[in-house]
Amino acid sequence: MPESFGDRLRATFAAAGQLCVGIDPHPYLLADWGLADTAEGAREFGLRVVHAAAGQVGLVKPQIAFFERFGSAGFQALETVLAEARAASLMVIADVKRGDVGSTVEAYGQAWLTPGSPLEADAITVSAYQGVASLGAVRDLAVAGGKGLFILCATSNPESFDTQRALVQHGPHTGRTVAAAIAAQVGDWNAGADVGSFGLVVGATVDLPSYGIDPSELIGTPLLAPGFGHQGAQFSDIRSIYGAAADTVVVSASRSILDAGPSRVGDAIRVQATEVALCLA
**Local structure of 57: helix, strand or coil:** strand
- DSSP structural state of residue 132: G
Q: How many CB atoms lie within 10 A of CB 34?
A: 10
Q: CB under 8 Å to 171, separation ≥6 — which residues?
A: none
What's the Cα-to-Cα distance from 280 to each of 67, 81, 234, rounded to whole Å?
A: 33, 30, 12
- DSSP structural state of residue 167: B
How much is the CA Rg of the chain, to the nearest whole Å? 18
Please list the active-site residues. Answer: 97
Task: For residues 94 and 190, give the distance between their C-alpha atoms in angstroms, rounded to a whole number.
Answer: 20
